[in-house]
Structure 1
């Protein structure tokens, strides 16, 4: 297996894998997430490919805010073959060049993912994640208003 950055011709295959893995949500456009991840130097999408072959075995989106790294969209075509483990290791290597720690979020009830990350040495963090949608929110002024 080899791991490298996602190529433009693989965008549709990556998104299809995310759908198949149940990682997408109707209110969150995965193509927009992909485009944003590839638009700047603080994030990327890594893919696992078979040695000497074509076709995605898995993906992971990785990025950082200058203090901590984040892992998103970890998906493998088949579980139990080491693809997820290899992608997490590659994501950690990518992040280690930029930040001292990595975090990720697991949806409530996804005990399979929680167990996978625990086996890799990740620990639950006593943090509550809060959010507010700032696009399409009538109470939030457009960015041009805030910037003058």
Structure 2
């Protein structure tokens, strides 16, 4: 959007003001659309073994948590680690979605796109890889009293 040419003559100034105002309004609309789309972003991930599935919103907050009955064979600390690792994985996926939205709505404003995307990358970095899966059957035989099952 180029700067308006004011003061050349009254009619031209009026046309330039209208063009400039329309451009500003269109830009504001694109930014509002971007904000609506970013706010609506969600990310769902499952643990490698499928025991835990989490959904997070654009702020990274947990909005859904599902744990299968297979979790009964795991120690509590392992379930907690699965939940946290899976949540971090879901959060790290938010940045890619936000990047796409930013580029499609306000991509001509590279400085804003870079600032917003960088903010999301800092808040939601790629998580550490999941720890290796354990042999749950072996753990059950060793770690649990069969009478409690």
Asked if Structure 1 and Structure 2 have the same fold, meaning a TM-score greater than 0.5 normalized by the shorter chain, the answer is no
What's the TM-score, normalizing by structure 2? 0.28
What's the TM-score, normalizing by structure 1? 0.29
For the pair shown, the structure with the greater C-alpha radius of gyration is 2
